[in-house]
């Protein structure tokens, strides 16, 4: 997630300036999956025959699997727990169920991006990984926000992914998620607590991603959909 230089609150996602028009409003989307019980569904590994319908596109996406998040799938089913990172204080509470292989790859690459940027904003480390997981204005904003960092977000944070959509051409996708920063602490570079209640909230975002030539899904845009209304637990 890229920070917003205007708002200090948790996660500093750059909404807007990044191409608010996004892919969602203009693209015909397929493979939409939403809503799952608490903790989300259990998604088969990418190399299984679980993907039906768009099997050729799914095979292509998984065939170009990247390092990082995609590696988890080869070891077994993808779950909210397997996508979480306790060492970062980063918890995935829920994910959609019944995702096909392409959607699963999108989900994994999105979470890899999200964890990479959370590492930057919470520790000041891992900038290269965050840049490698993003493109376009999102990438530029991450670099600019990093250059202007004066404070850090401290865990825990949690997210809930409610929807993963892949465009019919298999080159662009959208992830809808709720970001819960209600328990974060914000500190300046001297370690002083500068947290204000306004920094803590639950915010719903639509993240646009595009697939690069190696098959990695890169974050390229984000739009804030609502504040204080979403939940990380899918109903």
Q: Which domains does the chain show, CATH number per domain?
A: 16-227 (3.10.450.50)
Instruction: Report residue 134 as tokens.
Output: 């993003």
- Neighbouring CB atoms inside 10 A of 137's CB total 18
User: CA-CA distances (angstroms) from residue 230 to 4, 21, 93, 181, 220?
Assistant: 20, 21, 13, 12, 22
Q: Is the pLDDT of residue 148 over 60?
A: yes
pLDDT in tens, 88-147: 999 999 999 999 999 999 999 999 999 999 999 999 999 999 999 999 999 999 999 999
For the ranges 26-35, 165-174, 226-235, which has the lowest average pLDDT?
Answer: 26-35
pLDDT in tens, 53-99: 333 333 333 333 333 333 434 446 899 999 999 999 999 999 999 99
Instruction: Report residue 150 as tokens.
Output: 């004066």
> pTM here?
0.72
Three-class secondary structure of residue 12 per DSSP: coil
Instruction: Report residue 24 as tokens.
Output: 């969602």
Are the C-beta atoms of residues 186 and 152 closer than 8 Å to each other? yes
Phi then psi for residue 173, to 5 deg, are -155, 165
Q: At what angle do helices 55-63 and 101-123 cross, to 10 degrees?
A: 40
Confidence (pLDDT) at 235: 59
Confidence (pLDDT) at 76: 67
Pairing of strands 157-167, 90-94: parallel
Minimal CA–CA distance to 219: which of 164, 140, 138? Answer: 138
For residues 24-36, average pLDDT: 35
Are the C-beta atoms of residues 111 and 90 closer than 8 Å to each other? no
Minimal CA–CA distance to 174: which of 183, 162, 160? Answer: 162
12 vs 192, higher pLDDT: 192
pLDDT in tens, 173-230: 999 999 999 999 999 999 999 999 988 999 999 999 999 999 999 999 999 999 999 9
Q: Looking up tokens 């679980």, which residue turns up?
A: 50
Instruction: Please tell me the distance from the alpha carbon of residue 119 to that of residue 233, in angstroms, as a whole number.
Output: 23
């Amino acid at each position: 997630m890229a920070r917003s230089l205007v708002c200090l609150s948790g996660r500093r996602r750059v909404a807007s300036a990044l191409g608010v028009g996004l892919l969602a409003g203009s693209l015909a989307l397929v493979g939409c999956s939403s809503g799952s019980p608490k903790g989300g569904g259990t998604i088969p590994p990418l190399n299984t025959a679980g993907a039906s319908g768009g099997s050729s596109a799914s095979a292509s996406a998984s065939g170009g699997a990247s390092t990082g998040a995609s590696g988890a799938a080869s070891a077994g089913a993808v779950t909210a727990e397997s996508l979480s990172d306790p060492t970062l204080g980063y918890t995935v509470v829920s994910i959609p169920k019944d995702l096909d292989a392409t959607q699963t790859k999108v989900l994994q690459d999105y979470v890899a991006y999200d964890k990479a940027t959370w590492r930057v904003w919470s520790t000041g480390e891992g900038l290269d990984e965050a840049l490698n997981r993003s493109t376009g204005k999102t990438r530029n904003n991450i670099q600019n926000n990093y250059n202007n960092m004066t404070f850090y977000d401290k865990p825990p944070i949690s997210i809930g992914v409610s929807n993963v959509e892949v465009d019919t051409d298999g080159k662009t996708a959208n992830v809808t998620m709720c970001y819960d920063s209600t328990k974060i602490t914000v500190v300046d570079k001297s370690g002083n607590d500068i947290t204000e209640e306004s920094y803590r909230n639950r915010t719903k975002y639509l993240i646009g991603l595009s697939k690069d030539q190696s098959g990695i899904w890169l974050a390229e845009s984000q739009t804030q959909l609502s504040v204080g209304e979403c939940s990380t637990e899918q109903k």
